[in-house]
Amino acid sequence: MRPMTRAAGLGWLLTAAALVATAAEKPAGSVSVTDSGLKGNPATYECASGHPVKRQTVTLDSGKRRYAFVYSGCYDPSHGEVHPSSEGHFGMPEPWSGNFYGGGFLEVFINGKDAITYTLTDMRVLESGERGSFQAAWAHPDASVALRVVLLPGGDHVGCDLSWRPLTPGAVKAVKVTLRAYPSFFTSFHHRKGERHCQTPRTDQQEPQTLALVPGEDTYLYYYDAIFDTAKGEGNGPCAAIIAPQGVTDGKVILGDYAVMTEVTVDPGAGHLRLALYDFSGQTNAGAGAYLRAHGAADLAQLQEADFRPRAVSATDVAKLKAEAATLLAEAADDGKPLKPKIDELVTKIAALKAQADTGDWTAEADLAQVLGDSEDLFWRLRIYALLNRPQ
């Protein structure tokens, strides 16, 4: 057999490396993430007919549950700095559009103004594979506001980290977060009467009531309808939220005969609020309630301990990366020389972004995650050249 030439060996190594990298991107029990990108269309119901509406959808699929999130806003110049949308701005249309309303379930009031009505400055995928995550950010006049959403492989709920950073010291004086849900069935829309409930670890109240929340005790909020229960052949299944108590000063659940509204007041100085959202569509009331009683405390602990930074960002050691790059360039010899300017530029960029990311800058964290992902092929090439030039 003829010995393999260096060129052929390089080709084989590159192909093998590509296969290894591809396999690494899709581990067993992975989360897939799709992003529609920000798209425009003329308004129909969202605003005045013909106005330019921007919309973006990100979908995360754990293999057990698929969650979709959609942003919508009208960008006609007549609206100034806000971007109205009649149904809401940030919704969860999947698994079912009523549980955490697909048209818009989330509002984030900073100093009385809903941040999500302002310009969307960022909405992008951060991770897929070992876990799925994305972030969305808005330009409130008093603060930068961002939401990160994470889904784990085989997971049945999403974790959310909602953050705000004042543009000037002391600019954020009040924070209130609201959630809108139509548990299991759009009752009034279909001219049907239901029986809305909110159950927590300490109580169960039904419409028409306002449940005053006790932070630290009402750690999960289980929204269900006693009439529209899949066990009775009615409805789509209930939903729930876990609200981490850190920073929460007050809250209530307004149980109407149609919408169920949850309002949480947060200490502005806390800087963030953590939530977990569950859509139990297709499940019975009894099954969903049993899940929360059995797993609610553990899920809360997991939410509180979670690192919402992209894993590649939290694992990056700039000093180690610089040392590795220098070693590989030296080992790659002449083959590495054409790559050196790109490697040097890349390492410098990573170091700068990591310094920003370490201050809690979520835009820098997202940029760094993207740069690290885009640089994988370059480092694979350098490693292969280093391997080929090592003494046999």
Cα(83)–Cα(72) distance, rounded to whole angstroms?
Answer: 9
pLDDT confidence of residue 28: 53
For the chain, give the number of residues. Answer: 392
What residue ranges define each of the domains in the chain, with the CATH number in brackets?
Answer: 6-27+312-389 (no CATH), 32-308 (2.70.98)
Give the model's confidence band at 90: pLDDT under 50 very low, under 70 low, under 90 confident, else very high. very high
The model's pLDDT over 326-382, given as tens digits with 9 standing for 90+, comes to: 888 888 888 888 888 998 999 999 999 999 999 889 899 999 999 998 888 888 888
pLDDT confidence of residue 385: 87
> With contact defined as beta carbons under 8 Å apart, do 304 and 245 qualify?
no
In the predicted structure, residue 251 carries a pLDDT above the cut 90: yes
Give the model's confidence band at 12: pLDDT under 50 very low, under 70 low, under 90 confident, else very high. very low
The residues, ordered by sequence, that sit 6+ positions from 41 with a Cβ below 8 Å of its Cβ are 52, 53, 55
Please name which of 103, 100, 63 lies closest in space to residue 280, comparing C-alpha atoms.
Answer: 100
Tokens standing for residue 107: 């509002």
Cα(163)–Cα(167) distance, rounded to whole angstroms?
Answer: 13
pLDDT confidence of residue 392: 66
Q: Tokens 């007549």 appear where? A: 78
The model's pLDDT over 201-226, given as tens digits with 9 standing for 90+, comes to: 999 999 999 999 998 899 999 999 99
Count the neighbouring beta carbons within 10 Å of the beta carbon of residue 190. 9
Average pLDDT in the chain:
91
pLDDT confidence of residue 99: 96
Give the model's confidence band at 234: pLDDT under 50 very low, under 70 low, under 90 confident, else very high. very high
In the predicted structure, residue 14 carries a pLDDT above the cut 70: no
